[in-house]
Structure formats: C-alpha cells, structure tokens
C-alpha cells in the first residue's frame, strides 16, 4: 500500500483551483502554500509552450526530510504518506534545507489575512496550525480517513489529477504511469517521489 498521485500536465489548464481548495480545506495561514502551481516555458520561438506544473509535497518513498529531522517529528505512515507531528517539531528547519522540492513551510509568526481582524473561518481553521513549526501537504489525511479523495483531486475541474495505490499494478495511477510515460521530479536524487507527472 503506497498512496500516490498522477498529475496530467496535458489536461492541466493552470487554473490554480487546486491551490485555492487546498487553502480552504486546510485553512493554511498567509504565506503558507502547501500546494502551488508554477508556470514554466519550454521550447524556443516559434515552438514555445507554457506549461503549468502543480507542486506539493512529493511524499517520497525515501524522504530526505525524515532522515534529518532531529526529533522524529517527521514520520511516514504505513500507507507511504509523509506527515509531521507538530507537537514534536522544535522548529530547527533542517527539513526545509533537506527537501529538494522546496515543499515545506515554516510559520514564522501568527498572521491573519486581514490586519487586526480574524474571520470566523480563520478562528476555526488556525487551531490546526501553530507558529514556530514546519508544516506541509499530508494528502488530506483527515479526508482519506473519511473515505474521501484529497481535496485537490476531488476539485480539479479538468480531472488532471488521479489518486490511488502505486503498489497495486492494476490501479488507475499505475496504469497511467505505465501507458503515458509518467515521470518523477529529480529522479537522480534517489528520493522516489509518489507524485508522477504525465508529459504535456
């Protein structure tokens, strides 16, 4: 059992809806973006194309962040998801240095979106976040426990995202990776990420 995700860059239209729903689902404070969409250009004039690449924690099978954590606050679930126990985190930020994908975020101070005013949504959501610790995407583990897909998968308007079990050869994600030539980011680092991209 190893949860993984396939992101089809051909289908992705770069609407950043996944980034938005990630913020609403997890109520992340300002400056904390567990999910981002970066726009990259490839090719040379006149054959140029713009590609939108959604980025989030890669949930590596060999996570460098887990190795360097001095307290073991970063841990791996048996289903392959890399998670952080915020109560154990001392805030040394070594994991942020170790992550080759820049997908870890440090909440350096408590901030709200509107200066001097906390909305009811923020009041409810910020109880899940504390200042001085590192946080990141956890594949919406609370939603998975309720039998739902991660919010970014469920809300992708072009169905570019597929979620499933990478260890199961007949699962939809495994088939997509096999048939469409799915690739990982920085495979040379030996981290073996659980997020695969399908070429645009």
Partner 1 sequence: MANLPGGFGQSYRETFWVETGLILLIAWGLYTYSLQFFNGLGVTGLNKPVFWGLYIANFIFCVGLSAGGIAVSALVHILNKEEMKPIAIIAEILSISFLILAALFIILDMGQPTRLLYVIWNANFSSPLLWDVTVINSYLILCSALLFFSARAQVVKSALGHPGRLFIVRFLTLGYTDLSEASLKRDRRVLKTLAIVSVPAAVALHSVTAWILGLVKGQPGWNTPILAPLFISSALASGLAGVIVAVWAARKLFRIDIGDKIILQLGTFLFLSIPVLAYLLFTEFLTVGYSGSPTHIQVLDEILWGRFSRIFWFDTIVGILIPFVLLGLPWTRTPGWIVVASLLVIVGVFAERTYLLLPSLMRGGPFDVTTGYSPTTIEWTIMAAAYAFGLLLFLLVGKLIFPRKTEQEHAVPAPAREQTRWGFQRG
Least CB distance to partner 1 at residue 100 (A)? 3
Q: How many residues does the chain have?
A: 200
Residues that bind partner 1 (CB under 8 A): 31, 36, 38, 40, 53, 55, 64, 67-73, 88-94, 96-102, 105-111, 131-134, 189
Q: How far is the CB of 1 from partner 1 (least distance, A)?
A: 24
Minimum Å gap between C-beta 175 and partner 1 is 28
Q: CB-wise, 72 or 181, nearer to partner 1?
A: 72
Provide the minimum distance between the beta carbon of 123 and partner 1 in the complex, in angstroms, as a whole number.
19
Which of 55/166 has CB closer to partner 1? 55
């Amino acid at each position: 059992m190893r949860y993984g995700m396939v992101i089809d860059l051909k289908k992705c239209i770069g609407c950043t809806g996944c980034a938005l729903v990630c913020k609403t689902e997890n109520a992340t404070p300002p400056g904390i973006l567990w999910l981002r969409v970066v726009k990259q250009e490839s090719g040379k004039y006149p054959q140029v194309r713009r590609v939108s690449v959604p980025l989030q924690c890669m949930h590596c099978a060999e996570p460098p962040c887990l190795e360097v954590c001095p307290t073991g606050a970063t841990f791996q679930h048996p289903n392959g998801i890399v998670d952080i126990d915020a109560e154990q985190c001392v805030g040394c930020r070594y994991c942020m240095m170790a992550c080759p994908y820049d997908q870890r975020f440090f909440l350096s101070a408590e901030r709200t979106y509107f200066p001097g005013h906390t909305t009811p949504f923020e009041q409810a959501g910020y109880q899940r976040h504390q200042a001085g610790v590192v946080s990141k995407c956890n594949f919406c583990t609370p939603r998975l426990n309720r039998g739902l897909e991660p919010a970014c998968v469920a809300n992708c308007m072009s169905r570019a995202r597929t979620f499933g079990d990478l260890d199961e050869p007949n699962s939809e994600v495994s088939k997509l990776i096999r048939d469409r030539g799915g690739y990982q980011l920085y495979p040379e680092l030996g981290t073996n990420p659980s997020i695969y991209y399908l070429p645009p």
